[in-house]
Chain A
Amino acid sequence: MAARFCLGCLLIVLGAAPAAAQDQSDPDPPLSAATEPSGQSDNEQPLSEIEALRQEIQALREENKKEIEALREEHQQKLDAFAEENELRHMEMEMELLSGLDEEIEEKFTIYGFLDFVFMWTWFREDSIINGLAWDSLTFALPHANLYFRSQLTSDLFVLMELRYSFLPHGNEEEFEIGGIPYRRTDSEVEMPLPHEKFRLGGVAIERAHLTYQPLDYLGFTAGYFLTPYGIWNEDHASPILIPIRYPYMQTKGIVPMAQLGVQIFGRLQPLKRHYLDYAITISNGRGPLDTVHDLDNNKAIGLKLKLSHEGQYVSAAWGVYGYYGEYRDRKKRIVSFSPRFVVEQETTEHYREYVGSADLLIEAFGFRLQGEYVRRLTQYIERPLRAMEYGVGYQPDYVIWAWYGIIYWDLPLRDLLGTVRLGPFYELEYSHSDVTVPGMKSTTQTWGINLRPSPYVTIKLEAAYLRSTDIEELRETNRDFFEALFIGSQLAVSF
Chain B
Amino acid sequence: MGFNDKRPRFGRLVPLGLFVAVALNHHPARADNPNDILIVVNTNVGENQIPIDVVRDIFLKRVRQWKDTGRLIPINPKNDSPLRRAFQAAVLEMDPAQETRYWQERKMRAGDVPPPSLGYNFKAVFRIKGAISYVFRQDYIKGVSKIVLVIPAKR
Contacts and interface: CB of A to CB of B under 8 A. Distances in A.
Interface of A: 84, 87-88, 91, 94-95, 98, 101-102, 105-107, 110, 112, 114, 148, 150, 152, 155-156, 158, 160, 212, 214, 216-217, 235-238, 240-241, 268, 270, 273-274, 276, 311, 313, 420, 453, 455-457, 495
10 contacts: A91-B144, A107-B113, A148-B111, A212-B111, A237-B109, A241-B108, A268-B63, A274-B53, A455-B97, A456-B100
A313 B89 CA distance: 12
10 closest Cβ contacts across the A-B interface?
A420-B97, A160-B111, A238-B108, A456-B100, A456-B101, A102-B128, A95-B127, A217-B65, A155-B71, A495-B104
Contact of B116 (A91, A107, A238): A107
Interface residues of B toward A: which range?
Answer: 35 or more
Contacts of B31: none
B95 A420 contact: yes
Nearest to A420: B97
A8 to B, nearest CB: 40
Interface in B7-53: 51, 53
A236 B109 contact: yes
A456 B98 CA distance: 7
Contacts of B98: 456
Output the residue of A212, A456, A457 with the most chain B CB within 10 A: A456
B143 interface: yes
Contacts of A160: 111
A270 B109 contact: no
Contacts of A495: 104, 107-108
B150 interface: no
B57 to A, nearest CB: 8
Contact of A95 (B73, B110, B126): B126
A150 B111 contact: yes
A273 B53 contact: yes
Contacts of B108: 114, 148, 237-238, 240-241, 495
B137 interface: no
Contacts of A101: 124, 127-128
Contact of A268 (B62, B120, B123, B142): B62
Given A84-B142, A156-B71, A240 B104 contact: yes
A364 to B, nearest CB: 12
A98 B107 CA distance: 28
B141 interface: yes
Interface in B92-138: 93, 95-98, 100-101, 104-105, 107-111, 113, 116, 118, 120, 123-124, 126-129, 131
B65 A238 contact: no
A420 B85 CA distance: 14
